[in-house]
Amino acid sequence: MEYIVLAINAILVKNILLAQYLGNCPFLGVSKKMDTAVGMGMAVVFVMTFATFITWFVHHYVLVTFGLEYLQTIVFIFVIAALVQLIEMFLKKLVPGLYKALGIFLPLITTNCAILGVAVLVIRKDFGFVESLFYALFSGAGFALALIIFAGIRERFRVSYIPKAFRDTAIALVTAGLIAMAFFGFQGIDSSLKALTMN
């Protein structure tokens, strides 16, 4: 039950893109076409879970042990950059099909602030290991969901008339605002779920 609440919370209520403003650069950058959006979404789910898995260990067993918490930012970004590189090499060698699908998105992910954001967030929220892992997985799923919905809407722009000033990014931002508004409605679920788990 606890994990279901966590899932609904991370995917719908506190969607990482639309309510926590993380990872907006790829959100606007790769959402022009459906297939790139799907690829990017999958890559983020994958890397986010992996990265949180490793950074959680690094934080609790290396940084805390040696009293180096103030180096968190620099260590995490380095771990993530190295990890992305490793995943890329592994996939290329072992799962060429997946590599073909995700390949070009992997380097972009290093500077996706959602990855570093979630890694830091689970430490700040003092989550346990399993909870952190689930949180990362669901946040990634939330990212993918928002990105895919957004790409679906953006594909329609090609055939509709848009005033010149609004073309490209401006209309995309307004659309994102409208999707965010729709997601905002999920906040009602949150309070009723909390009441449910209390009983």
Q: Which residues bind other proteins (CB under 8 A)?
A: 18-25, 28, 70-74, 76-78, 81, 110-113, 116-117, 120-121, 124, 163-167, 169-174, 176-178, 180-181, 184
Which of 170/196 has CB closer to other proteins?
A: 170
Q: Which amino acid is at 144?
A: A
Which of 81/101 has CB closer to other proteins?
A: 81
Q: Please report how close the Cβ of residue 21 comes to other proteins at its closest, in angstroms.
A: 4
Q: Considering Cα of 146, then 176, then 10, then 191, what sign does the dihedral take?
A: negative
Which of 43/176 has CB closer to other proteins?
A: 176
Closest CA to 6 of 197, 149, 184: 197
61: exposed, middle or buried (Cβ count in 10 Å: 0-12, 13-18, 19+): exposed
Count CB-CB contacts under 10 A for residue 27.
24
Residue 45 token pair: 């789910």
Q: Please report how close the Cβ of residue 137 comes to other proteins at its closest, in angstroms.
A: 19
Q: Please report how close the Cβ of residue 62 comes to other proteins at its closest, in angstroms.
A: 16
Q: Please report how close the Cβ of residue 164 comes to other proteins at its closest, in angstroms.
A: 8
Which of 4/89 has CB closer to other proteins?
A: 89
Q: How far is 189 from 1, CA to CA, in rounded Å?
A: 15
Q: Please report how close the Cβ of residue 78 comes to other proteins at its closest, in angstroms.
A: 7
Interior angle at CA 151, CA 10 and CA 97, nearest 5: 85
Interior angle at CA 44, CA 91 and CA 132, nearest 5: 105
Which of 78/129 has CB closer to other proteins?
A: 78
